[in-house]
Amino acid sequence: METWQIVLLGLLEGLTEFIPVSSTGHVLLAGHFLGFKSAGKTFEVLIQLGAILAILTVYFGKLWHLLISLPSDARSRRFALGILLAFLPAAVVGAFAHKFIKSVLFESPMLISIMLIIGGIVLLLVDRMTLRPRYAEVTDLPPSLALKIGLCQCIAMVPGVSRSGATIVGALLMGVEKRAAAEFSFYLAMPTMAGAFAYDLYKNWSSLDPAAVSSIALGFAVAFISGVVVVRYLLDYVSRHGFQLFGWWRIIVGGVSLGALLVLG
């Protein structure tokens, strides 16, 4: 694999992981059209570690405050419980459906393109709805609501749906304010992506060779740098402009890739 291809895929991962456009869908489609194949799609999953570390870096202060306040603050304990409950559905489904997801869904660029388009339409419709949010702070979400958002996240097992897109749309429809919905998606991303990384590494450890490790390391570094930029500025953008841009982006990318697949195969 050429260095510029590794950099491109790492850049796509970091720039799209936390916005509702499906980072996995973008990386898989780019890999398909570039002719890039990694053993068991390991590269595409493991470079997500860069995005995980990006959000840990930006949110370190908030995470540290949450950690030290757990013994004394009931609100912090409730929020931590909510994140844990939201993470569990994807963990269970991902573990049981891992082989099907990697061997079937990840190998279906046509499906990815269609899901990008459908998800874009859904995002545009929801963004234009007149919703009355009941929860303006991410720490105010009750555990039962967090669990429901976590169930929405399971839809994103289908590449092209978008993990952040599924959780954000679910949260918006259940009364969470736009900024808080995006921020909850950030927090939920940490255990979800870390779990996916660890499980995939465990499953594919034997297929990694020195060349694959160096490619993953470079992709990880690029994903980390670009991910930091996105995490720092996304919440302010969403607060001012909503999700319309991301909806149109999904439709354009999905439409172009679908057309290319139909014409070129």
- Nearest-angstrom CA–CA distance, 112 and 107: 9
Q: Encoding tokens for residue 26? A: 């973008």
Instruction: Average the pLDDT over 13-33 and give the result.
Output: 89
Q: 89-105, pLDDT tens digit by residue?
A: 999 998 888 889 888 88
- Nearest-angstrom CA–CA distance, 17 and 26: 10
Residue 154 per-residue DSSP state: G
- The total number of structural domains in the chain stands at 1
- Nearest-angstrom CA–CA distance, 257 and 264: 10
HSE-up of residue 124 (Cα within 13 Å, Cβ side)? 13
Q: Is the dihedral of CA 231, 233, 238, 243 positive or negative?
A: negative
Stated pTM of the model: 0.87
Do residues 116 and 250 make contact, with C-beta atoms less than 8 angstroms apart? yes
Q: 151-188, pLDDT tens digit by residue?
A: 999 999 999 999 999 999 999 999 999 999 999 998 99
Q: Inform me whether the pLDDT recorded for 81 exceeds 90.
A: yes
DSSP lists the bridge partners of residue 135 as 176
Do residues 53 and 224 make contact, with C-beta atoms less than 8 angstroms apart? yes
How many distinct helices (H) and strands (E) make up the chain? 12, 0
Instruction: Average the pLDDT over 16-24 and give the result.
Output: 89
What pLDDT is recorded for position 1?
67
- Nearest-angstrom CA–CA distance, 258 and 252: 10
Q: Inform me whether the pLDDT recorded for 40 exceeds 60.
A: no
Residue, of 137 and 197, whose pLDDT is higher: 137
Contacts of 40 (CB under 8 A, 6+ apart): 102, 200, 203, 204, 207
Do residues 17 and 48 make contact, with C-beta atoms less than 8 angstroms apart? yes
What pLDDT is recorded for position 208?
67
* Single-letter amino acid code for the residue at 209: D
* Interhelix angle 3-16/23-34, nearest 10 degrees: 160
Residue 240 CB neighbour total at 10 angstroms:
9
Instruction: Average the pLDDT over 141-153 and give the result.
Output: 96
Structural domain harbouring 150:
3-264
